């Protein structure tokens, strides 16, 4: 077991410009695409006399605000779907971590703006027509094309939003929540027709009508291609099957999958796939698992803790079981690296992708440090592989087992509760300016470490992480 000692500095390795430029270009493309469509939405509202109506201070004022909130909500709903459609420009431009945060933020904003749109439009029309608000709402639902479908769609979106709130999420099994979450696609689909049939800003001109129809058609095509067709085609082409299942630590499972020309999937260490094992009922539910070994050959390896139905099912897999995958996804790869040294901090199953990175990335003996956090040493995943890396490549490995500290630094165990987090990281690694830091584990745990890293002076662009939770 390694002791906490400082390591002598080594010259900094500067990453190849092309290696660093690719992620920046993908990010620029994703941002430009979002801004372009958002500005177009604003232009539609302005061209439809939105500003003039806003200054009227009567029913038209509420109606035009309803139009604006409806346009913005429709645009956010579009991105709500696209962000989870695995479109390459967003996957590579933002990465899973940022996309997960955006998905949640965009989802709630689109929902609240949708409710504001319904209230403002209804009240605005009622004032203009000198009608009762409830009568006007009833008239909308029954007499306007597509409004019955939109009402049903709104109900489904309410279901998705309520079950996505953190308090509800904690009470639901992942599999149940995921199934309910898929109703969001149906809710969006039911809400679209009334926009394209009766919305003034959608039908104001041939150009506007074409734009919105084309945009939603492209979005639907992206979902069908990237979430359905491509996984089916690629999985069939590579003939993926389980070749080995074995225990990994006290409550972990490691699964090896092989097939034809698996290297052509283009997976890199640190990335993940959405996995479906065709072993019986329930195979349609996909689960994100990171690669636990360098995917340099024609095999893929995953490792997970047994914490629920999805992971318990891994232990029951048999060699020969067919496998379908979506991916690879994620940007927590060596492409993000700019320094010569590596500091890896993983908790629980988060250790697996860090081990894959340590197997694939170049570093000299003593230039890579792995810190693992588990309830006990026996719970640790990938220990055989970690020990091999320590012997063959000079990896420095520190373990932090034990119950969580109840005070002080929250990412360390109670045995180290007296340590200041930033000072402990400096004690472990020495000069942190020489390191790229990779984090993987529960979100609160990673947030605590990230805060201490920033306190210790580590630049934000040197801290790399990925999160799966929405």
Alpha carbon of residue 115 to chain centroid: 26
Q: Report, at the CATH architecture level, how domain 334-465 is classified.
A: 3-Layer(aba) Sandwich (3.40)
pLDDT in tens, 137-154: 888 788 777 777 778 878
| Across 116-130, 188-202, 342-356, 379-393, least confident range | 188-202
- The full set of domain ranges for the chain reads 17-234, 238-329, 334-465
- More reliable by pLDDT, 429 or 77: 429
Helix (H) or strand (E) holding 371: strand 368-374
pTM for the model: 0.76
What average pLDDT does the segment 290-319 reach?
Answer: 87
pLDDT band at 169 (very low <50, low <70, confident <90, very high): low
Q: Which residue has the higher pLDDT, 16 or 390?
A: 390
CB atoms within 10 A of CB 200: 14
Interval 196-220 mean pLDDT: 76
Flag whether pLDDT at 3 surpasses 50: no
Tell me the average pLDDT across 235-258: 92
Looking at residue 47, its pLDDT comes to: 76
Task: State the pLDDT confidence band at 352, using cuts at 50, 70 and 90.
Answer: very high
The per-type count for the chain, helices as H runs and strands as E runs, is 17, 11
Mean pLDDT highest for which of 191-200, 208-217, 315-324, 408-417? 315-324
Domain 238-329 -> CATH class: mainly beta
Separation between Cα atoms, residue 191 and residue 188, nearest integer Å: 5
Supply the mean pLDDT for the chain: 82
Question: What per-residue confidence (pLDDT) applies to 331?
Answer: 84
The stretch 214-236 carries a mean pLDDT of 88
Per-residue confidence band for 180, with pLDDT thresholds at 50, 70 and 90: low
161 touches 114 (CB < 8 A): no
> Residue 95 has what pLDDT?
73
Residue 117's H or E segment, with its range, is helix 88-129
| Amino acid 172: pLDDT | 66
**Other CB atoms within 10 Å distance of the CB of residue 169:** 14
pLDDT digits (tens, 9 = 90+) for 385-433: 999 999 999 999 999 888 887 776 778 888 887 888 889 999 999 899 8
**Would you place residue 11 in the very low, low, confident or very high pLDDT band (cuts 50, 70, 90)?**
very low
pLDDT band per the 50, 70, 90 thresholds, residue 5: very low
Task: Check if the beta carbon of residue 356 is closer than 8 Å to that of residue 290.
Answer: yes
The answer as to CATH 1.20.120 being correct for domain 17-234 is yes
Assign 161 a pLDDT band (cuts: 50, 70, 90): confident
pLDDT digits (tens, 9 = 90+) for 99-133: 777 877 888 888 888 889 888 988 988 888 888 88
Q: Which residue has the tokens 């999160």?
A: 467
Cα–Cα nearest to 77, from 113, 127, 52: 113
Who contacts 324 (Cβ-Cβ below 8 Å, separation ≥6)? Answer: 231, 232, 235, 240, 275, 276, 278
Cis peptide leading into 328, omega within 30 of 0? yes
């Amino acid at each position: 077991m390694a002791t906490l000692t400082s390591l002598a500095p080594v010259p900094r390795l500067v990453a190849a410009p092309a290696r660093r430029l690719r992620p920046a270009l993908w990010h620029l493309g994703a941002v430009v695409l979002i801004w372009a469509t958002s500005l177009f939405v604003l232009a539609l509202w302005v061209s439809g006399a939105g500003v003039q109506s806003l200054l009227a201070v009567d029913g038209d004022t509420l109606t035009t605000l309803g139009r604006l909130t409806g346009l913005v909500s429709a645009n956010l709903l579009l991105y709500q779907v696209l962000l989870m459609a695995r479109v390459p420009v967003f996957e590579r431009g933002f990465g899973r971590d940022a996309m997960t945060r955006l998905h949640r933020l965009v989802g709630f904003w689109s929902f609240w703006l949708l409710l504001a749109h319904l209230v403002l439009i209804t009240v605005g029309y009622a004032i203009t027509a000198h009608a009762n608000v409830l009568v006007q709402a009833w008239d909308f639902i029954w007499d306007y094309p597509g409004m019955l479908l939109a009402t049903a769609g709104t109900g489904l979106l309410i279901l998705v939003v309520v079950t996505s709130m953190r308090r509800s999420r904690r009470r639901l099994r992942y599999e149940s929540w995921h199934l309910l979450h898929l109703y969001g696609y149906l809710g969006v689909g039911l809400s679209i027709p009334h926009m394209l049939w009766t919305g003034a800003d959608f039908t104001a001109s041939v150009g506007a009508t074409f734009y919105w129809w084309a945009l939603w058609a492209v979005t639907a095509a992206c979902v069908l291609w990237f979430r359905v067709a491509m996984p089916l085609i690629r999985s069939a082409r590579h003939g993926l099957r389980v070749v080995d299942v074995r225990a990994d630590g006290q409550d972990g499972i490691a699964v090896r999958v092989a097939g034809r020309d698996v290297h052509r999937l283009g997976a890199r260490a640190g990335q993940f796939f959405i996995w479906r094992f065709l072993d019986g009922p329930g195979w349609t539910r996909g689960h994100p698992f990171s690669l636990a070994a360098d995917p340099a050959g024609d095999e893929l390896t995953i490792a997970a803790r047994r914490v629920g139905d999805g992971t318990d099912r891994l232990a029951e897999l048999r060699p020969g079981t067919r496998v379908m995958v979506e991916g690879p996804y994620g940007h927590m790869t060596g492409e993000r690296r700019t320094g010569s040294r590596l500091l890896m901090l993983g908790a629980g199953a988060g250790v697996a992708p860090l081990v894959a990175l340590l197997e694939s990335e170049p570093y000299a003996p003593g230039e890579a440090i792995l810190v693992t956090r588990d309830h006990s040493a026996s719970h640790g995943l990938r220990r055989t592989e970690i020990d091999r890396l320590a012997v063959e490549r000079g990896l420095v490995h520190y373990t932090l087992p034990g119950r969580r500290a109840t005070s002080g630094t929250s990412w360390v165990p109670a045995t180290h509760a007296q340590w200041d987090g930033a000072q402990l990281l400096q004690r472990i690694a020495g000069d942190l300016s020489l390191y790229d830091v990779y984090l993987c584990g529960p979100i609160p745990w990673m947030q605590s470490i990230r805060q201490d890293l920033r306190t210790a002076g580590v630049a934000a662009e040197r801290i790399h992480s990925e999160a799966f939770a929405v």
